[in-house]
Structure 1
Amino acid sequence: MVIERAGGRQPLAALLFGRNDRPTVDALAALAAGPEGFALLNTGLAPQGTAELLRDGLTFDLAGLAPALPLDVPAVAHRVALPGDFNLSELEAIWFQVGPHLAGAENLLPVLRVAAAILKHLTRMDQLAAIVWRPARVVMSPAWFAEAIGVWLAGGPFPALALTALARSEKGLASEGLDFLIGQEFVLHARTGAPSREDSRIAVRLTDWLVAHGRVDSAREVVLSGVGAVWLEPDGHNRLNAVTR
């Protein structure tokens, strides 16, 4: 197991706790059991404050467990289902990373689904205040994350507001974190003025379609269930313009 603060593997997610509330490896072991849980590997050999998690043949690492020092809270730009006075500066982070054998494969959907399932199980940890999904720079409540991920794992749509994010731009709604999955972000151009609630619904459906079908390298029309046709046109290597028809 290798845990790196910087210059190597970056966390997929960070689990945020109040000061002195981070769990120990022993507390993690008590949580691991159960059909939706995971196995802990090499618990006697791991460096202090770290744990190696196994599920479905894939390994992931946690670092920053007590009594080791906490790790940095990743930068965030989007907040979901958190109170207005939620203060990140008062929190400490545990990092969740893919294991070394998965480096470079962390954006593959089979790996991502297992990672999301483990993180959903980890939302049961006592005193967990929030979860950061680093590729989208989004911080959210554990309950929101668990619900969105649970729907996806049960066969529902991709959790577009948990594993990616949407931000208002001058042109409409811009995705963030989708590049991690398909190598492209999109801008959904608002039909009239500022983005509407309907534009947001279309953007969520578009995210689900793109995750399922992958990057778009030539202009094409796609039909999204429940919202109709959207025209997609690449703009450079890693951006898409999307316009409703």
Structure 2
Amino acid sequence: MLFAPGKRPTRAAILRFVSQQHAVALSHDPAEQKDGKFLVSQGGPASAAAGGLGTSEAVWLELLRDGLTYDVKGLAPGPAGKSPQIIHRFDFAEQPDEAGFEVIGITPGPHLSGGERSIPVLRGMLALARDLTQHFEDARAVFWQPSASAIGRRFFESIVTAWLEGGAFPALGLTAFEETAEGALQSVGLGFWIGQELRIEAPLSADKVAATRLGVRLVNQLVMVGGIDESERIVAPDGTRLVMQASRNSQFIRVRRE
């Protein structure tokens, strides 16, 4: 999550957030106060400063959402997370220098090792990010690493809430689209979800707006079914008959006119 400079939440702010939530609970606080000092499991003792942790120590909490645990890392006054390299932007026009944001990260907890990419775990993590975005007004955007996308806070809240409530998968944000050297339109980040990227081949991709709309529809379908192994015939919204086929190496799903 990307925050305005100096506005990154503290440990205490996250605890206040948890106290106001019905779906989120504190599952582990690595800081323990003993004899006027805080002991941090990822660093050792640090002197208490204005009721908080020393700035040289990592500050984090483990939160419970939908019965699953997630680590919220990079809290103030400890060091922030590493600034991401933004390639795609959705409802987010800001282009500050590298030091223009302060970053906190949300990751599946160690108890979820091996299942980090399962849909329930990812839905829970995105739900927690949505909850935090709604609570902290200084959150500017959410960065989604698999598509290298910065998603503006309002757009992120909207698309994730719609998905959580049974709507379409947030294809524009949790995936992105790029034009290849051959003129195809190819997804970025879909492989994180299903192990395959979508590739709409030329000349079907000539109209980039129409091809993107088609891509969004197909991404939603593919996330629901988990990818394809062979070929399928489909009909585009304009009635065009299409063939959707896995590439020989199964890394891509190619879409072309029948």
Report the TM-score, using the length of structure 2 for normalisation. Answer: 0.81
- What residue number does 2:17 align with? 31
**What is the DSSP-based 3-state SS (H/G/I as helix, E as strand, rest coil) of the residue aligned with 1:215?**
coil
The answer on whether the counterparts of 1:53 and 1:61 sit within 8 Å (CA) in structure 2 is yes
User: Highest Rg: 1 or 2?
Assistant: 2
- What residue number does 2:4 align with? 18
- Label 1:115 to 1:227 Cα distance change in 2 as closer, same or farther (>3 A): farther
The C-alpha deviation readout for 1:161-183, integer Å capped at 9, x for no partner, is: 12111122233211111111110
- The whole-number CA distance in structure 1 between the counterparts of 2:195 and 2:111 is 22
| Structure 2 segments unaligned to the other structure (5+ residues) | 33-39, 42-57
**What is the DSSP-based 3-state SS (H/G/I as helix, E as strand, rest coil) of the residue aligned with 2:141?**
strand
- What residue number does 1:143 align with? 154
- What residue number does 2:89 align with? 79
The answer on whether the counterparts of 1:36 and 1:121 sit within 8 Å (CA) in structure 2 is no
The answer on whether the counterparts of 1:50 and 1:64 sit within 8 Å (CA) in structure 2 is yes
- What residue number does 1:212 align with? 224
- Out of 40, 46, 68, the residue aligned to residue 26 of structure 2 is 40
| Structure 1 segments unaligned to the other structure (5+ residues) | 1-14
- What residue number does 1:63 align with? 73
- Out of 141, 149, 161, the residue aligned to residue 130 of structure 1 is 141
1:186 aligns with 2:206: no
**Equivalenced residues, count:** 230
Q: CA deviation at 1:230?
A: 3.2
Identity of aligned residues (%): 32
- What residue number does 1:195 align with? 207
The C-alpha deviation readout for 1:41-95, integer Å capped at 9, x for no partner, is: 2224465410101012100001100010111123322111112x42251112111
RMSD after superposition: 2.1
Matched residue type, 1:177: G
- The whole-number CA distance in structure 1 between the counterparts of 2:77 and 2:169 is 36
The answer on whether the counterparts of 1:202 and 1:227 sit within 8 Å (CA) in structure 2 is no
Range moving further from structure 2, 94-103 or 58-67: 94-103
The answer on whether the counterparts of 2:185 and 2:205 sit within 8 Å (CA) in structure 1 is no
- Label 1:19 to 1:207 Cα distance change in 2 as closer, same or farther (>3 A): same
- What residue number does 2:255 align with? 242
Report the TM-score, using the length of structure 1 for normalisation. Answer: 0.85
